[in-house]
């Protein structure tokens, strides 16, 4: 089947042909004809299968017949993240360049004034994140009474990020008679209950099992024995052992994104960082640099795990095992897209075995384990006593004698110390109050931990008298008492 068989207009077909696509994906083949006839759709397909085009292409055809009015968009697309919303807007610009549709992108971190100006002129397609959309609605800058098509993209991510109350509020502001398109990569029971409340007699389209990983992605698991510092060394060794064209490195926490970024930067990798605390212009510039190939590695949080379509990504490295097992499918789905092959490797410490087991249960199979000569691994059934008994004997062993101490810091304290070490030592700034040497006299430096002599703060008994030459201030006399005074 080709795109011509789906009933799309010649303008859309011409734009699709210029992009280079000739054969629709399974989700596009099944969803586009249903959307064109105006029916609600509940779509579930793994990431990287073309869900975005399955609703953007028919929407361009449907909206080409009509005219937008000021502050009253004709269609609304809700996305969980700014990056995903920007990705959807790029699809509309790409496939709708031969049409006359107007579009507005409402995301946080951008100018309110520019977004309000676009709304005042009237837009056919409104793409927004929930927070910014509600802000503009409460300011009276937008009306949702004329929305004919509603698209909820990456609904499972909306649920994970806590946006569903906002989405339910937005849906309550829309007309009851509308066409709703509900797309998600996974379909847990909570999402299905929400879909039942949003949709009317939908056509359910499920291309692949909702918990399956893409077949074009080769998966691998590297078990690392140690802490965060050993894990960073294992990541570098794994990267050097692979032919990496461009890669995403996922971390669970924003703080770890910065640490891994600085570590790779110091070791000579072409790398950039991306997480939710960065300013929106910086996030967009960083993502564009990665797409253009100016940066080879992008260390990121799960803000880049959904919806980003960068076909050139050859590898995905999970520096942390995702705490939410469903995020694993989305992360590795950033590679092996559009029929290309890709590789996804996960690095796991012993402490992450619980999360790893959840991922294995979700995908229904074991992840093939890989080994590196310079990286020590751990076995899932090994206990802490069997691997660390010799260490706990402390100063009695050879290692304890080398360290000169019978106690070892805990795993948590070692990890924090290694993180500080890997971030680089700070310059030591001398204390401003350090005494200077007088002329012809050499200053004697004090010991680092030396303390000034403690003064005797014992009080005189009440009613007692001071000795001759003794003051109530002790050894220190305030300067104002030493000033000469005129005596009448």
pLDDT confidence of 426, banded at 50, 70, 90? very low
Token representation of residue 266: 């110091």
* pLDDT greater than 50 at residue 7: yes
How high is the pLDDT of residue 219? 94
Q: For residues 215 and 340, what is the distance between their CA atoms, to the nearest angstrom?
A: 10
- In 275-376, the DSSP E strands lie at 297-300, 315-318, 342-348
Domain boundaries, the chain: 3-206, 217-380
Class of domain 217-380: alpha beta
* Model pLDDT, residue 443: 39
Least confident of 286-290, 296-300, 479-483: 479-483
- What are the residues whose beta carbons fall under 8 Å from the beta carbon of 402, sequence distance 6 or more? none
Q: Which pLDDT score, from 0 to 100, does residue 333 have? A: 83
Whether 420 shows a pLDDT value over 70: the answer reads no
Region 446-471: what's the mean pLDDT?
Answer: 49
Predicted confidence (pLDDT) at residue 163 exceeds the cutoff of 80: yes
Please state the φ and ψ torsions of residue 356, each to the nearest 5 degrees: -65, -40
How far is it, in rounded angstroms, from Cα 452 to Cα 172?
70
Average pLDDT over residues 413-418: 39
SS3 72: strand
Beta pairing class for 297-300 and 247-250: parallel
290 vs 480, residue with greater confidence: 290
More confident residue, 280 or 401: 280
Averaged pLDDT for residues 328-337: 84
**Higher model confidence: residue 431 or residue 470?**
470
- Is domain 3-206 annotated with CATH 3.40.50.300? yes
Give the pLDDT of residue 275.
87
CA-nearest of 250, 299, 291, 246 to 272 is 299
Separation of CA 297 from chain center? 14
Nearest one of 318, 281, 278, 274 to 295, comparing CA atoms:
274
Q: Is the Cβ–Cβ distance between 287 and 305 less than 8 Å?
A: no
Q: What pTM was computed for the model?
A: 0.62
* Predicted local distance difference test score (pLDDT) of residue 468: 57
Positive or negative: CA dihedral 33, 36, 37, 40: positive
The pLDDT of 306-322, averaged and rounded, is 84
pLDDT digits (tens, 9 = 90+) for 69-101: 888 999 999 999 888 898 899 999 999 999 889
- Residue 298's beta-bridge partner residues? 248, 272
For residue 488, the model assigns a pLDDT of 66
CB atoms within 10 A of CB 219: 21
* Burial readout 223-261 (b: 16 or more C-beta within 10 A, e: otherwise): bbbbbbbbbbbbbeebbeeeebebbbbbbbebebbbbbb
Whole-Å CA distances, 383 to 85, 227, 254, 350, 392: 46, 16, 31, 10, 14
Q: Are 183 and 43 in contact (CB under 8 A)?
A: yes
């Amino acid at each position: 089947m080709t795109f011509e068989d789906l009933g799309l207009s010649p303008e859309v077909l011409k734009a699709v042909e210029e992009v280079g696509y000739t054969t629709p994906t399974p989700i596009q083949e099944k969803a586009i004809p249903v959307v064109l006839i105006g029916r609600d759709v509940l779509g579930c397909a793994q990431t990287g299968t073309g869900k975005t085009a399955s609703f953007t292409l028919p929407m361009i055809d449907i909206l080409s017949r009509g005219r937008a009015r000021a502050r009253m968009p004709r269609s609304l697309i809700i996305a969980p993240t700014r990056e995903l919303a920007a990705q959807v807007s790029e699809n509309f610009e790409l496939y709708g360049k031969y049409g006359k549709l107007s579009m507005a992108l409402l995301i946080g971190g951008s100018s309110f004034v520019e977004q309000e100006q676009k709304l005042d002129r009237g837009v056919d397609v409104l793409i927004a994140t929930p927070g910014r959309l509600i802000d503009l609605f409460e300011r009276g800058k937008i009306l949702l009474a004329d929305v004919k098509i509603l698209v909820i993209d990456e609904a499972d991510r909306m649920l994970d990020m806590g946006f569903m109350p906002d989405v339910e509020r937005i849906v309550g502001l829309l007309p009851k008679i509308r066409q709703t398109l509900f797309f998600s990569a996974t379909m847990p029971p909570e999402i299905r209950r929400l879909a039942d409340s949003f949709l009317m007699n939908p056509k359910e389209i499920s291309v692949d099992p909702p918990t399956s990983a893409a077949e074009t992605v080769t998966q691998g698991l590297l078990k690392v024995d140690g802490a965060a510092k050993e894990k960073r060394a294992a990541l570098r060794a794994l990267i050097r052992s692979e032919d990496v064209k461009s890669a995403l490195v996922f971390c669970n926490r924003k703080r770890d994104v910065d640490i891994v970024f600085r570590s790779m930067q110091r070791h000579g990798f072409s790398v950039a960082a991306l997480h939710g605390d960065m300013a929106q212009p910086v996030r967009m510039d960083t993502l564009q640099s990665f797409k253009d190939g100016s940066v080879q590695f992008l260390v990121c949080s799960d803000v880049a795990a959904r919806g980003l379509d960068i076909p050139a990504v050859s590898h995905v490295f999970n520096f942390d095992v995702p705490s939410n097992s469903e995020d694993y499918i989305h992360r590795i789905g950033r590679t092996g897209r559009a029929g290309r092959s890709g590789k996804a490797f996960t690095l796991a410490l012993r402490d992450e075995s619980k999360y790893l087991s959840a991922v294995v249960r979700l995908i229904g199979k074991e992840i093939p384990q890989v080994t590196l000569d310079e990286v020590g691994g751990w076995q899932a059934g090994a206990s802490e006593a069997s691997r660390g008994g010799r260490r706990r004997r402390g100063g009695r062993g050879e290692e304890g004698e080398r360290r000169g101490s019978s106690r070892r810091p805990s795993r948590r304290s070692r990890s924090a110390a290694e993180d500080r070490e890997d971030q680089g030592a700070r310059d030591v700034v001398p204390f401003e109050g350090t005494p200077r040497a007088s002329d012809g006299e050499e200053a004697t430096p004090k010991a680092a931990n030396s303390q000034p002599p403690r003064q005797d703060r014992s009080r005189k008994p009440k009613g007692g008298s001071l000795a001759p030459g003794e003051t109530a201030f002790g050894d220190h006399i305030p300067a104002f008492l030493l000033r000469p005074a005129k005596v009448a």
